[in-house]
Homo-oligomer: A and B are copies of this chain.
Amino acid sequence: MTLHSAAASLAEFDRFPDSPGAPVTGAGADALGERSVRLTPKYAGRARDVRVRWALYGAADAPLVIVQGGISADRHVATHADRTGWWDAQVGAGRAIDTVRCRVLSIDWLERADLGDALAVGSEDQADALAALLDALGVRQALAFVGASYGAMVGLAFAARHPARLGRLVAIAGAHRAHPLSIAVRNLQREIVRLGARFGDAAAGLDLARRLAMTTYRGEREFAERCAAAPAFDGARFRFGEEAWLQAAGARFVARCGAERFLALSESIDLHALAPEAVRVPTTLVGIASDRVVPLADLCELQRRCGAAASLHVIDSRYGHDAFLKEPAQIEALLREALPTLGA
């Protein structure tokens, strides 16, 4: 048994019946569950028990890899039973993160309500929750933490706070800080949600906030291509080429994300700030040239100042920040290079 696979069996992990329901166990060794962990949230004075909703995929007795996505992602990284995973392109049998060769852990992001009286949710709180789950699993060191967007920020916080627990960090489209211009735009997204909420319609605000976020996630070229249609008068006002697309994106988001969750996680991105020197784990950084949310310059600074060996790889894409989802072939190649023992 290697260091990475020094894991308690799933049965051991789940023997503490602290979950309201028993873990939902699906095909193979995949499992979903909840458990309480002890945390002192960054924006609260004292320790408390926090419930964490986790998922495990793949080989039980194999090196553990933590995988986390953006603020609108959840623990369903891979398809499990009849539920599709949001990152099936990278996580699964035969994929770059091969569930035959490793065990994948992911959590649903902690929200403000999960942390009791904490004033806000820190990326550090998410990292500490994952470290506590490693304890519960009996895993001394995860082979890797693969995080994208907010998940990359949490991975950096994990590497800074629990360096001995991690073999390698792969941080995609996330840096040691949020860029001030991105903070300003996200803060306005939250103000728009609050404007709606003030009039009893937070969903209407959330819809517009998500559309605004989309204008920052995607590349200029994509907009130019999507908006070729001339504006058309609909009886009340002119409709522009990109509107139907953005409206659909806003509606989909409102259907799956509550306003409070969005407010807390959006704010958590903006509060994220750590010294690159504190990241004392070998790190692979992945940036996207067209990313207007996480400028390449910030990843260059992170690479230069990183407290351990760090390499920076740059993806060329028309999709901006969302290239971590929309460029699966490029991401796969980088993951296979960064984590050669992990892929099929």
Contact = CB atoms under 8 A, between A and B. Distances in A.
A28 to B, nearest CB: 43
A211 interface: yes
Contacts of A119: 233, 238
B184 A240 contact: yes
A233 B42 CA distance: 13
Q: What is the copy number of this chain in the assembly?
A: 2
A58 B187 CA distance: 46
A180 B241 contact: yes
Contact of A181 (B120, B204, B223, B237): B223
A227 interface: yes
A246 B190 CA distance: 14
A249 B26 CA distance: 54
B215 A246 contact: no
A226 interface: yes
A70 interface: no
A180 B227 contact: yes
A88 interface: no
Interface in A221-250: 223-224, 226-227, 230-231, 233, 237-238, 240-243, 246
A295 interface: yes
